[in-house]
Amino acid sequence: MPEVRFTIRWPDGAEEVCYSPSTVIHQHLSAGTSYPLPDFLARARAALTEASDRVAAKYGFACSAAMDQLSRIETQAAMQAPGGVVACLRLS
């Protein structure tokens, strides 16, 4: 499956390169777009869950890397100030 790296900037200014095992992330996030934190989390959850499901459909097991990435995103999001926005800088 084609994997995608996407770079985000958290509300605190930190940048992070994230991983998706599928191009489905392109259906949920757009480069150059900022999302309110709750919207970004919902999009990331949907995209990474769908990506993991695609891996499961193809290989017979869920993608632990997608679920690990989602866990890291959720952990980092919990440390951000309420009302912040997450910028999607790049998808590659």
For 40-67, write each residue's pLDDT tens digit: 999 999 999 999 999 999 999 989 999 9
Calculate the alpha carbon distances from 43 to 18, 46, 59, 62, 70 in Å: 14, 5, 24, 19, 11
Q: Which pLDDT does position 2 carry in this prediction?
A: 86
Is the pLDDT higher at 62 or at 80?
Answer: 80
Encoded amino acid at 45, one letter: R
Q: What is the mean pLDDT of the chain?
A: 95
* Residue 1 binned pLDDT confidence (cut-offs 50, 70, 90): low
Are the C-beta atoms of residues 35 and 6 closer than 8 Å to each other?
A: no
Locate tokens 């440390």: which residue?
79
Residues 6-13 have a mean pLDDT of 98
Does the pTM of the predicted model rise above 0.75?
Answer: yes
